[in-house]
Structure 1
Amino acid sequence: MERNSNLKRHLCAIIMICLISELQSQTILSQPKSITKKEGESADFTVTLNEGDPRTTVTWYKDGILVDKNDSRITYDEVERGNGQYTLRITSLKRSDKGNYNAKCEIYSREDIRTQNAELTLIEIPAEEYPICTTWKKTYNIMDLVNVTCVSENINPQPNLKFERRKTNSTILGNETNIWISMEFRAVPNLNGQSYTCRQFGDRLSAEYCEITLNVTNEINVTILEQEDKLYDVGDIIKLQCIGNYSKRANFSWFINEKKILQYSNMVEIKIEKYMNNGDNVTCKIIENSPEEGNASVSLRINSNELTVEEDPKRVCSNVEVHVSSIGAIIGLLATITVILFLILLTLLYSTYHLYQIKKNKPDKLLVQHHLLPRSSTRITTVSDDPPDSAI
């Protein structure tokens, strides 16, 4: 018995649903339809009933909430209610108007009827101030890093951004409110007064543009370009270049922590040694013929985990300095040794020549001495027994 009772209830429910559907199909001739509109346009939702009873009232809901009639943009158009047509009209569409709309039809002597949902899809339009072209600084020095950014609003669907006269497109980045593209490059003198244009466009968007002009100074300025922007380890080689708005006659000097390591060249290679410190400053100074001087410095980013404390009273800051001083010392030593050997050779040659002359001239001297001696004479002595007259 209980099973039969449940079956009867289910059958009654099915019959009621069919009757209500049939009643709705007979009452609602046309349902409101989903539409897609651009922001700022107008949207109409219309329901048509099969009778124009003046006692029928129609109210509209958005996402289950009653549409506010006090909004000046919203109108209940019932001019054609005699023909059974009831229209909800929304002008100057806003982003908040997106959603699902339906109508509640209160027909005299019948149950209220709800229409199907109709979705309003909105093509959002960026605000009038977009796109916006920006840069980090109003004026750049020679070889400063320049960043030009084009910003738009993060809307649905997302607009496209592109710098004009650029071969490659920049990657679009963004957050909840904005999207942007950027390009970076070094400031050089011929970029002074250069303009950059960004275009904002989309499938259903009209193209909009923004433009920015660079200001680059022509004053002497020097910067240092690292080969790689990274954390260096002991043994790594850092290549640094001193670049600026200078002539070919400019003189360069390189320093590490105010200690000169190199002169004349605008490039230097530095090997990271264990006794060097993270944050050591490398400075390039440039002197033109005029008294003006430009300089720029960069701090070395060294992995402190590999640094050790070593005895270095003079604190040689760079392998470049060691190489330069070692080469100079070696050259000086070789020059000294060469001079000494040359003097020794001259001395040996002179001594050899002197001994040779002595040996060659010795017999002649003896012969000369022999000829100069007096000839020997024979003395005859007579022996007598008589004493001399003086003795008598």
Structure 2
Amino acid sequence: MERNSNLKRHLCAIIMICLISELQSQTILSQPKSITKKEGESADFTVTLYEGDPRTTVTWYKDGILVDKYDPRITYDEEEREKGQYTLRIASLKRSDKGNYNAKCEIYSQGDINTQNAELTLIEIPAEKYPICTTWKNTYNIMDLVNVTCVSENINPQPNLKFERRKTNSSILSNETNIWISMEFRAVPNLNGQSYTCRQFGDRLSAEYCEITLNVTNKINVTILEQEDKLYDVGNIIKLHCIGNYSKRANFSWFINEKKDISKYSNMLEIKIDKDMNDGDNVTCKIIENSPEEGNASVSLRINSNELTEEEHPQRVCSNVEVHVSSIGSIIGLLATITVILITILLNLMYGTYHLYKIKKNKPDKLLVQHALLPRSSTRITTVSDDPPDSSIQESPENVL
């Protein structure tokens, strides 16, 4: 029984559809047609009935909701109603207007008849301000990361964006409201004043453009990094690294005390401390991008001059030699004086000892003088000698007092 009941319901539904279709075919001469329009244009939906009856009324619906006939953009055109023609006209289409439209025809002699749905497809147009070209900074320094972005509105169908005369693999990114493409690269001096143009285009869209100009300063910031921060001794090697906002085209020059050109074409430098270098000597790195754009930086060498050897510092060697020679000369003079004095004293002692020894050995009594035998009124001095008396010499009477 239940199966038979379901079958009857289906048969009734089919019969009603057929009757309605037959009624529509006998009543509606032409159905509203689906259309595609651009945003801002006008759209017309028209239904034509077989007979024009003044008592017939037509009401329009969008997605099942009654169209507001009091909207100034909406017009119910019934000037041809005597011919059975009724038109819904929408001016200045907006994105909210897209959807399905149908008409409800209230025919006096036949009742209510609904038309088929007609779809309004809208080609959305980006707002007049789009596309917009932007960049992160107003002014870039050399080797800053530059980002140029072209932005448009996220609409349907989605427009195309492209940088003119620029190769970029950037795909279109999007969120709920916007789409965009970007380019990223390093700033170099010759990009100063360079313009970038983005084109917005698409199906049934007129091409629109935006442009932006880069400002790149010619200032090169340079820094010298030392591998080790310490006091260097003669023979040590100092490793220096010249870094800065330079490009691959940059040229490098290294100087000591801004006079001696010691290296070119490399941002790395190794210096071996030698005897000609002094504590506080300046090492300068100069970077040249595109003349006259350049930058430089300097660093002072920290050399331990107290650790220099005689071979490494000739001036100090001479000073040391003079000090040593002067000290040795003084010591030798003092020793010579002491030696002469000691030799003199030793010779005197030896001579006195030897002389006393001779006297005591040979004639010790000759030194005795008998003063008592001599007259009081006279004094006689007798000299004792080891030599034999000279017979030719006799005492003179004048020598006897």
| Both proteins in one fold, TM over 0.5 | yes
Deviation at 1:14, TM superposition (A): 3.6
The alignment's TM-score, normalised by the length of structure 1, stands at 0.59
Question: TM-score normalised to the size of structure 2?
Answer: 0.58
Q: Secondary structure at the match of 2:150?
A: strand
1:57 and 1:219, CA in 2 relative to 1: closer, same or farther beyond 3 A?
same
- Does structure 1 conserve the Cα–Cα contact (< 8 Å) formed by 2:374 and 2:380? no
Unaligned runs of 5+ in 1: none
**Stretch deviating more after TM superposition (243-252 or 142-151):** 243-252
Greater mean alpha carbon deviation, residues 169-178 or residues 272-281 = 272-281
Task: Return the offset for 1:204.
Answer: 1.4
Give secondary structure in 2 for the equivalent of 1:283: strand
CA distance in structure 2 between the aligned counterparts of 1:384 and 1:374, rounded to whole angstroms? 24
Counting matched residue pairs gives 392
Instruction: Indicate conservation of the 8 Å contact 2:143/2:246, yes or no.
Output: no
- 1:232-259: per-residue Cα shift (whole Å, max 9, x none)? 9999999998565789999989999999
5-14 or 254-263: which moved more?
Answer: 254-263
Relative to 1, partners in 2 of residues 1:5 and 1:169: Cα closer, same or farther, differing over 3 Å? Answer: closer
Aligned 8 A contact 1:252 1:266 in 2? yes
Shift of 1:123: 0.7
Give a deviation string over 1:211-266, Cα, whole Å, max 9, x none: 00011112232489999999999999999985657899999899999999999952
1:99 CA displacement: 0.5
In 2, the alpha carbon distance for the partners of 1:144 and 1:210 equals: 23
Of residues 223-232 and 82-91 in structure 1, the stretch that sits farther from structure 2 once superposed is 223-232
Residue deviations 1:1-39, cap 9 Å, x none?
Answer: 888777666544443332222111111111101111111
The answer to whether the aligner puts 1:368 opposite 2:357 as a matched pair is no
Task: Answer whether contact 2:76 2:89 (CA < 8 A) is retained.
Answer: yes
* 1:339–1:289 Cα change, 3 Å: farther
Contact 2:159 2:200 in 1 (8 A): yes
How many Å apart are 1:381 and its aligned residue?
A: 41
- Name the CA shift for 1:145/1:250 in 2 (closer, same or farther; >3 Å): closer
For the Cα contact (< 8 Å) 1:130–1:152, is it kept in 2? yes
1:314 partner SS: helix
- The answer as to whether partners of 2:144 and 2:187 remain within 8 angstroms in 1 is yes
SS, match of residue 391 in structure 1 = coil
Q: CA deviation at 1:195?
A: 0.6
Identity of aligned residues (%): 91
Give the C-alpha shift of residue 110 in structure 1. Answer: 2.4
Q: State the superposition RMSD in angstroms.
A: 17.7
CA 1:41–1:253: 2 relative to 1, 3 Å: same
Comparing 186-195 with 234-243, greater Cα deviation is found at 234-243
Q: Mark the runs of 5 or more structure 2 residues left unpaired by the alignment.
A: 394-401
Offset of 1:152 from its aligned partner? Answer: 0.7
Single out whichever of 358-367 and 14-23 deviates more from structure 2. Answer: 358-367
CA contact (8 A) 1:144 1:223 kept: no
Separation in 2, partners of 1:199, 1:270: 54
Q: Tell me, what secondary structure is at the counterpart of 1:18? A: helix
Query: Which piece of structure 1 moves more, 356-365 or 32-41?
Result: 356-365
Q: Check 1:378–1:178 CA distance in 2 against 1; reply closer, same or farther (3 A cut).
A: farther
Distance 1:352 1:36 in 2: 151
Residue number in structure 2 paired with 1:60: 60
SS at match of 2:111: coil
**Could you tell me whether the CA contact under 8 Å between 1:271 and 1:318 is conserved in 2?**
no
Per-residue Cα deviation, 1:334-356 (whole angstroms, up to 9, x for no partner): 99999999999999999999999
Would the alpha carbon gap of residues 381 and 208 (structure 1) be closer, same or farther in structure 2, given more than 3 Å must change?
Answer: same
Distance 2:135 2:257 in 1: 33
